Chain A
């Protein structure tokens, strides 16, 4: 059956409009729920740096929100470690800072949220400082959160996530076993320089003696490099804040 061009074009236009309306309608309808889901996921990732994944998996969404509200305080700082409360007349909170969007700006102009994990209902009893990470893996963006102990040197935990790394290879950065390798490592060397923690090439070696190296992921060297760069960059951006906290805790100890 051969139809005229007018028929084909009319048909295509009607189809496009109908399908387009259907899709935008769904997007409108589900948008708020999706935003909630993303916000919840973000909170889970932040908490993932300080408590175990199983613990989080056992919580209902309400419990996650409650736990987050009780245990996490947050501030936003700039590259110099100064606290930022508003930008262009709009109030800034850590939860509203989009790390991915900020990543597109130059490092000096970005906003840097800090999530402070503290004792229940007691913001002064700080346990960990959780800093976001963002960078490039092999195929797409990778991101995560790193928790530093109050000495601002020891890694308390890390969560890593990715948009499109190869399943079974680079995507393994999301595995608890891989993330556990970072625990207890330190980010400053003996002379006080920021060296971060580097994932090595190859897998299966024991790096427990080296405070700045962790075992690699076989077949995912480029993703590992991405993680290394991301850690080094972001800890660098937060360096002013970290040094600041370090000296203040040192004074407190004295």
Chain B
């Protein structure tokens, strides 16, 4: 009882704790319970396409975090001035600008990554996670909360695609972040001991399988059922 009242009074104060319980939940909820990929099944397209290797996946994850956080911040700052009739176009313009910025920066400083990720950086624009968070949260909440919310969602997306990429690269190419794991294992056990890589994991089908397994494990643990 007393704990609850204390919490309520904290929330009513204008200066809410920098990382209050409610704000922590904004970040932690999308990691598992409200995960955009495994629960809401959004952003699957890029999750399948870029996850053959860890390195491009990490770049993609960072790009998505940047775009979601920044667009949430910008839209939240403008939320009281955005005319509601054109709000979708405004959101799209902001997101598209941010994505183009990311793409330009990659092109200048990491051209190989830019080539490898090719269209998928541009396709962050159409990633439902971005627009979904803007519509559902940033339009009605304060900037700092929106940033946390965006960060949480993007992080939920990121850890899933990184996990998928980890298994795909390990099983498909026998490596992690380009480090030849299989080769070093083989060298320990001698030349007769060979670990075969699985070509299926390199193809998009492999991503479906890994993703399905992750969703299975997660839903078994959390007991989540779709209604």
Contacts and interface: CB of A to CB of B under 8 A. Distances in A.
Interface in A51-96: none
B109 A33 contact: yes
Contact of A23 (B97, B105, B107, B119): B97
Contact of A168 (B83, B100, B114, B203): B203
Interface string B81-122: 111111001100110010011001101110110110011000
B131 interface: no
B49 interface: yes
Contacts of B204: 167-168
A37 B107 contact: yes
Given A19-B94, A22-B97, A40-B111, A11 B49 contact: no
A22 B49 CA distance: 30
B111 A27 contact: no
Contacts of A168: 202-204
B69 to A, nearest CB: 17
B86 A8 contact: yes
A167 B49 contact: yes
Contacts of A34: 104, 107-108, 111
Interface residues of B, number: 28
Nearest to A168: B203
Contacts of A27: 104
B73 to A, nearest CB: 15
A164 B105 CA distance: 20
A155 to B, nearest CB: 24
B93 A16 contact: yes
B93 A3 contact: no
A11 B102 CA distance: 25
Contact of A8 (B49, B83, B111, B114): B83
Contact of A30 (B49, B86, B105): B105
Given A15-B90, A16-B93, A168-B202, A30 B83 contact: no
A19 B101 contact: no
A30 B94 contact: no
A1 B101 CA distance: 32
Contacts of A164: 118-119
Contact of A33 (B90, B93, B100, B108): B108
A208 B92 CA distance: 53
Contacts of A167: 49, 204
B93 A19 contact: yes
A12 interface: yes
Contacts of A33: 108-109
Interface in A1-58: 1-3, 7-8, 11-12, 15-16, 19, 22-23, 26-27, 30, 33-34, 37-38, 40-41
Nearest to B202: A168
B78 to A, nearest CB: 9
Nearest to A22: B97
A15 B93 contact: yes
Interface string B1-21: 000000000000000000000
A27 B118 CA distance: 18
16 contacts: A1-B84, A3-B83, A11-B90, A12-B90, A15-B90, A19-B97, A23-B100, A26-B101, A26-B104, A30-B107, A30-B108, A33-B109, A37-B109, A167-B204, A168-B202, A168-B204
Given A23-B101, A30-B104, 6 more contacts: A3-B85, A11-B90, A12-B86, A30-B107, A37-B107, A167-B204
Interface of A: 1-3, 7-8, 11-12, 15-16, 19, 22-23, 26-27, 30, 33-34, 37-38, 40-41, 164, 167-168
